[in-house]
């Protein structure tokens, strides 16, 4: 369930939440809310398609309700004392249960899913990050996400359009963080925040190691910037076409930072 497209450049795009495949045995345990798969990062692989020549992409096709590959494999919360969802989510982003009563995954089932879906995704992602780092002397993992702009269970008010996560600047060099923040801040008609509600998931925090030549940054887009935020979750080409040049500029600029050695 892993889709990989290798490129010759120094940028790796992580696509952890765009998959919609759910095995039949898991589907049988979901209630109607779970079966709706509402918490998908809809169309993100389409939004980023062909934005940068030579980019590597790593995508899992399994839905996050099967297992969330952007969570720690030991289940430790990324955001203690805040509402969030876990390794094998039991609720949706609105706090409602997604399983039929008594059908929630137990420890053995979570371990099984972790072995089948979480570990393989990260084995491939690690291999691709190492490959581009070794080839170019440094590499950048850009983790691609999106979420509905209004979800009271997870955050107050309306989410900014660009949500940049670097875990307080620890997962990438200052030049990487500054470049992304500056491009987003200059994008007319869009709002942006650095390390706000979304500071970077487990993937960003796990791989980001600037001292070892691996820089990681998460981009959480408000879905209102490119799609309809209610079912059937339609991709809105007009909005997307307005957004894509800004995303392309981010990726092109990050690639140039690697090639010029100006990552720190």
Contacts of 238 (CB under 8 A, 6+ apart): none
Average pLDDT over residues 143-159: 97
Strand partners, 213: none
CATH number of domain containing 248: 3.40.630.40
Look at residue 76 and tell me if it is in a domain.
no
- Residue 29 falls inside a structural domain: no
Average pLDDT (53-59) is: 98
6 within domain boundaries: yes
Q: Which pLDDT score is estimated for 136?
A: 97
Partners of 147 in beta bridges: 222
For residue 232, cis peptide bond before it (omega within 30 degrees of 0): yes
**Average pLDDT, integer, range 8-14:** 98
| HSE, side-chain direction, 13 A CA sphere, residue 254 | 35
Strand order of the β-sheet with 56-60 is: 2-5, 56-60, 11-15, 139-147, 214-222, 162-165, 192-194
Residue 200 has pLDDT above 80, yes or no: yes
DSSP state of 161: S
The residues pairing with 165 across neighbouring beta strands, listed in sequence order, are 218
85 domain-assigned = no
3-state secondary structure at position 182:
helix
Residue 77, in any domain of the structure: no
What is the Cα 7 distance to its own chain's centre? Answer: 19
Nearest to 164 by CA among 150, 151, 148, 182: 182
Which stretches within the chain are classed as H helix?
24-27, 32-35, 44-47, 107-113, 119-136, 174-186, 202-207, 237-260
Instruction: Please give the tally of structural domains in the chain.
Output: 1
Task: Say if residue 80's pLDDT is above 80.
Answer: no
Assess if residue 92 is contained within a domain. Answer: no
Which of 36-50, 80-94, 214-228 shows the lowest per-residue confidence on average (mean pLDDT)? Answer: 80-94
Would the pLDDT of 264 be above 80? Answer: no
The residue range of the domain holding 172 is 2-22+41-70+106-260
**pLDDT, tens digit, for every residue of 219-260?**
999 999 999 999 999 999 999 999 999 999 999 999 999 999
pLDDT at res. 254: 98
Name the residue with higher pLDDT: 84 or 59. 59
Q: Are 129 and 139 in contact (CB under 8 A)?
A: yes
Can you read off the two tokens belonging to residue 142?
A: 């850009």
- Hey, which residues does 140 pair with through a beta bridge? 11, 215
pLDDT at site 263: 81
Which tokens sit at 252?
Answer: 């092109």
- Residue 1 pLDDT: 84
Environment class of residue 222 by beta-carbon count within 10 Å: exposed (0-12), middle (13-18) or buried (19+)? buried
244 domain-assigned: yes
Is residue 190 situated within a structural domain?
Answer: yes
**pLDDT (average), residues 134-160:** 97
């Amino acid at each position: 369930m892993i889709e990989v497209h290798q490129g010759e450049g120094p940028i790796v795009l992580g696509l952890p939440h765009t998959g919609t495949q759910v095995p039949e045995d898991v589907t049988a345990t979901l209630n109607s809310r779970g079966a709706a798969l509402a918490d998908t990062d809809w169309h993100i692989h389409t939004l980023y398609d062909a934005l940068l020549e030579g980019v590597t992409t790593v995508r899992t096709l399994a839905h996050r309700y099967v297992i969330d590959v952007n969570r720690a494999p030991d289940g430790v919360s990324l955001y203690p004392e805040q509402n969030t969802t876990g390794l094998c989510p039991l609720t949706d982003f609105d706090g409602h249960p997604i399983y039929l009563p008594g059908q929630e995954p137990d420890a053995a089932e979570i371990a099984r899913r972790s072995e089948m879906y979480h570990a393989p995704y990260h084995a491939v992602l690690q291999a691709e990050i190492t490959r581009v780092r070794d080839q170019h002397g440094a590499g950048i993992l850009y983790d691609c996400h999106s979420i509905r702009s209004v979800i009271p269970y997870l955050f107050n008010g309306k989410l900014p359009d660009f949500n940049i996560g670097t875990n307080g600047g620890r997962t990438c060099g200052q030049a990487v963080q500054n470049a992304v923040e500056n491009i987003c801040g200059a994008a007319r008609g869009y709002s942006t925040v650095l390390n706000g509600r979304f500071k970077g998931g487990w993937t960003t925090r796990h791989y980001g190691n600037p001292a070892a030549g691996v820089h990681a940054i998460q981009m959480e887009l408000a879905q209102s910037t490119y799609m309809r935020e209610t079912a059937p979750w339609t991709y809105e080409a007009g909005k997307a076409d307005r957004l894509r040049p800004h995303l392309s500029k981010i990726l092109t600029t990050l690639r140039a930072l690697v090639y010029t050695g100006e990552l720190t």
